[in-house]
Amino acid sequence: MSRELRRAQERAEKKQKKSANKPQSTGASIPNNTGVLNKNSEKGKKGSILKPRWIIETWNELRKVTWPPKKEIGHLTYVVVLVSLLFGAILGLADLVFSWVVEKVIL
């Protein structure tokens, strides 16, 4: 994880702790800064046919995720493609060598 991502995550955690420490004047269910509903509203919240509860909970968890920046995603995609091509070439070359050995030695 890069330094920038760690710092952003630490800031988000501090912000969440501050919002959790603030006393709420009413018991109304108001979404906090991260878009996640507080516990009072989640207890009474039931899913519907079009939006089951597990979809709502999954969406709320995805809002909490710290996503990497696009530049890092591009870099990691490049690395995966390069390594895949390299291993493909190695395995293809090994296949050619073994097939040649089988044809010349065994057959």
Residue 1's pLDDT is what?
A: 59
The total of other beta-carbon atoms located within 10 Å of residue 19's CB is 13
Inform me whether the pLDDT recorded for 104 exceeds 70: yes
Structure tokens, 82:
């390069």
The pLDDT tens digits of the residues spanning 26-83 come to 555 555 555 545 554 555 567 677 788 899 999 999 999 998 999 999 999 999 999 9
The pLDDT tens digits of the residues spanning 61-72 come to 999 999 899 999
pTM of the predicted structure, to 2 decimals = 0.43
